[in-house]
Amino acid sequence: MRADAPEIDSWLERLPLIARDLLAGRLPEPWRWLAQSLVAIAVLLAAFGLLFALLTLAERKVLGRIQNRPGPNRVGWGGILQPFADGIKMLTKEDIVPRSADRLLHFLAPVALVSLSLLSLAVIPYGRRLLPLDLDSGVLYFFAASASSELAVFMAGWAGRNKYSLLAAMRALAQLISYELPLLLSVVPVVMIAGTLRPSEIVEAQSGWTIGILPHWHVLTPWGFAGFAIFMVAALAESNRSPFDLPEAESELIAGHLTEYSGFKYALFFMAEYFAMCALSGMAVTLFLGGWQAPFAALQFVPSYAWFAIKLLVLLLGFIWIRATLPRLRIDQLMRLAWKFLVPLALINLLTAAFWHLSAGWAMGAQPLRWGLALALVAVPFVLIGRGLSAGLGPRTYRYAAQ
């Protein structure tokens, strides 16, 4: 955790650190570091564990509302205790392992998945002073930790010795290989502009406001907006969320790699999915949405971690909204979207970012030209490639359904 001296430093801002020092401060020096790390780990696990529970509820409630039904509303007040009832149900269910399954991999897959998705939570700066692990190449660490998680999905799919599971494993691999590229390419401009791989410095690079109301977040620049959009689409695909949930596709693959899992192992997969979603959203907030920075200079009295939480929750609700809105893609559409659309756009976005970086010194009068050129660099390829991809795909005709 960093301890620089920012101008806004209320007791609310320092509250988590004070609480930590109350817990760990009394220990002698060699143990204090260990205790502080353990406290950080415990807080992360508790916070994201609780967030996971509440997110499942929020997802079911929001999906219910969007589909015009109440959602879970029986356990507790308006259904608020539903996730805990589900947890107890999952824990008490029988753990079934198919006789012909690869027992070791069948057991290892959920464990590996959850631990790998937890690893990536460590480097996200949650607040001005809330940074569990400040690594010089933190962004790289994040993607190294999260990229391996699809390996666990493969293990799960393969270990079950089930055709549906194996199909899911193949789909998961194809999806990961395809979307890893746009995900990483959309991050490169941020690293180029900020000139660092350290998440906390990327957040610092987005500090400041123009006339107090326009934050200098990366998403509010042409290249940043394009990068953010590409990142979020690729993040949806990486976390196997709808509309990219082909690996688990309930309606065609009977839940894919989850087919042979039951009980708490099944729950672990969901936990990992939500952790991965939180981690990717947290990284999106850090890279593009200014991290823990307040949107207006006048709102800095609100503690930084609260801003981070608000932005994170907005992104997570966006994930849920998308799940309720978009139908699942076909595998060929998925591949085409990645290779023919997102990757070229991400590569062009590199050029846009380079232009933005080189034109930073332009005079005030040339700023409209700079914005116009950068916006054109983003919008024109988007329209052209999009038109090219959808050429020949006329409006859909319904041959068998009544008009």
The yes or no reply on residue 244 touching other proteins (CB under 8 A) is no
Beta carbons of 78 and 54 less than 8 angstroms apart? no
Beta carbons of 263 and 95 less than 8 angstroms apart? yes
Beta carbons of 139 and 195 less than 8 angstroms apart? no
Distance between alpha carbon 264 and the CA centroid of its chain, in Å? 24
- From 75, 174, 322, 350, residue interacting with other proteins (rule: CB under 8 A): 174
> If you ran DSSP here, which 8-state letter would residue 329 be given?
P
Q: Which is nearer to other proteins, 1 or 173 (CB)?
A: 173
Stretch that binds other proteins, among 24-32, 88-96, 138-146, 371-379 (CB under 8 A): 138-146
Length in residues, the chain: 403
111, two tokens: 């464990």
Q: How many CA atoms lie within 13 A of 252 on its CB side?
A: 12
Which x/- pattern, by CB under 8 A, does the window 79-118 give for other proteins? -----------------------x--x-------------
With residue 210 as reference, give the H or E element that holds it. strand 209-210
Stretch that binds other proteins, among 196-204, 225-233, 309-317, 387-395 (CB under 8 A): 196-204
* Integer Rg of the chain from CA: 23
User: Considering the complex, what minimum distance in angstroms separates the CB of residue 352 from other proteins?
Assistant: 20
Stretch that binds other proteins, among 82-90, 175-183, 354-362, 388-396 (CB under 8 A): 175-183
- From 148, 207, 262, 359, residue interacting with other proteins (rule: CB under 8 A): 148
Separation CA 106–CA 121 (nearest Å): 25
The yes or no reply on residue 169 touching other proteins (CB under 8 A) is yes
- The dihedral region occupied by 256, where left means phi > 0, alpha psi between -120 and 50, and beta the remainder, is left
Which x/- pattern, by CB under 8 A, does the window 45-84 give for other proteins? ----------------------------------------
The yes or no reply on residue 176 touching other proteins (CB under 8 A) is yes
Site for other proteins in 198-227 (CB under 8 A): 198
Separation CA 263–CA 107 (nearest Å): 12
- From 44, 85, 97, 173, residue interacting with other proteins (rule: CB under 8 A): 173
Q: Which is nearer to other proteins, 240 or 304 (CB)?
A: 240
The yes or no reply on residue 357 touching other proteins (CB under 8 A) is no
Beta carbons of 287 and 28 less than 8 angstroms apart? no
Choose among 379, 399, 383, 403: nearest CA to 391. 383
Separation CA 2–CA 292 (nearest Å): 14
- From 154, 217, 225, 319, residue interacting with other proteins (rule: CB under 8 A): 154
The yes or no reply on residue 188 touching other proteins (CB under 8 A) is no
- Contact footprint for other proteins (CB under 8 A): 102, 105, 135-137, 140-141, 143-145, 147-148, 150-151, 154-155, 158, 161, 163, 166, 169-170, 173-174, 176-177, 180, 195-198
